[in-house]
Amino acid sequence: MVLGVDVGGTKVAVAAVEGVTATHAAEHPTVTAGADALLDGVEHVVREVIAAAGEPEAIGVGVPSQIEFATGMVETSVNIPLMGVPLREELGRRFGVPVFVDNDANCAALAEAHIVGESHLVMLTLGTGVGGGVVIDGLTFRGAHGLGAELGHIAVNPDGPPCPGNCPNRGCLESYCSGQALERDATELAKDKPDSPLAERMGPDRKVSGRELVAAADAGDSDALLLMENFARMLGIGIANYVNVFEPQRLAIGGGLSRASHLFLERAVKEAAARALPALWKRVSVALAEGGADAGVIGAGLLAALEMPRDRDTGSAKATTSKGIE
Ligand SMILES: [Zn+2]
């Protein structure tokens, strides 16, 4: 048995994980006052689950941050105060068992692959930003240091809008297919057309939120539908790119925006079908992610279960782990 820990911007969820089943789940609000306070909060929830489920063999942790995988060092972290924290060493010291840390989108992709039973899978997580993960042969692809598979930061238009992420590029997929991008486009359109239905949905901050845009599209507003059409087209271009590079068996779409998939998925698939290489396209299925609310902890648990034997073999992070046990 291993533990999966999903550290989000608003809550920390922990569960005992065996295969793709999570039990003894517990969660608490994320303490964002500082790194130590946050880690104390994580420790508190983990101890609660250990008390109920027993001592785990290893712990996997997913965080909304860029992670150097071998050390678990947090390279950048926008929503939670963990930048520069050697998370693997810090948590290994607190719990005395091997700890593995990865980006939360990587964990979500790993969970999805194992839940649907496909060993080659690409998952896009459409939320405030665009995240993603790539699973190859059942294992997470991370690049040389763990910082790879930043699927939201491929350019789909060289002259597109500045990327809203922590990124110097323009016209990234995240510039079109994220909640931030929808808010930007809806707000711009509402300001250009002050008599439009979208303008009526402007909040006190003079912005039209992604949620309001989706509501307008659902109500049949032509401006909102046009913005969703553009969203779908750009997503389709991205999907075709990932299919051509990775040739997954499945390309899964998850994240909060996937709840509005009725407004974009069919159109995106049509666009991808027209662009991807035919021999690859006919072998892939594009579908909404099947993992539920506990996919984050399941992915973190799978991370620990899959990396533990590999880590033992290579001893790549032995120093960190043994320091944790002393
Ligand atoms: Zn970018």
pLDDT tens digit string along 53-80?
A: 999 999 999 999 999 999 999 999 888 9
Q: Is the pLDDT of residue 318 over 60?
A: no
- Rounded to the nearest whole angstrom, what is the distance from the C-alpha of residue 66 to the centroid of ligand 1? 14
Residues with CB under 5 A from ligand 1 (ion): 153, 163, 165, 167, 169, 172
For the stretch 174-229, pLDDT in tens is 999 999 999 999 999 999 999 999 999 999 999 999 999 999 999 999 999 999 99
Tokens of 236: 């389709």
Q: How many whole angstroms from 161 Cα to the centroid of ligand 1?
A: 10
> In this structure, are residues 44 and 28 in contact, taking their beta carbons and an 8 Å threshold?
yes
Ligand 1 centroid to residue 170 C-alpha, Å: 7
Model pLDDT, residue 122: 98
Distance of CA 241 from the midpoint of ligand 1 (Å): 15
**147 C-alpha to ligand 1 centroid (Å):** 14
Cα of 166 from ligand 1 centre, angstroms: 7
Model pLDDT for residues 82-122, shown as the tens digit of each residue: 999 999 999 999 999 999 999 999 999 999 999 999 999 99
Using CA atoms, how far apart are residues 87 and 139, in angstroms rounded to an integer?
Answer: 21
Residue 145 burial by Cβ neighbours in a 10 Å radius (0-12, 13-18, 19+): middle
Per DSSP, 125 falls in state E
Closest of 116, 139, 77, 104 to residue 4, by C-alpha: 104
Q: What is the pTM of this model?
A: 0.93
Nearest 5°: CA angle at 107, between 105 and 111? 115
- Whole-number pLDDT of residue 325: 40
Mean pLDDT, the chain, whole residue set: 94
Between the CA of 36 and the centroid of ligand 1 the distance, in Å, is 30
Asked if residue 326 has pLDDT above 60, the reply is no
pLDDT at 310: 87
CA torsion angle for 218, 220, 223, 227 (degrees, to 10)? 40
Q: Which has the closest alpha carbon to 109: 133, 141, 137, 126?
A: 133
User: Both tokens of residue 146?
Assistant: 């763990």
Percent of the chain with pLDDT over 70: 96
Output 321 or 26, whichever has higher pLDDT. Answer: 26
List, in order, residues 6 or more apart from 14 with CB less than 8 Å away.
Answer: 3, 4, 5, 6, 25, 26, 27, 42, 45, 46, 48, 49, 297
Of 158, 256, 161, the C-alpha closest to 211 is: 256
Q: What is the pLDDT of residue 311?
A: 87
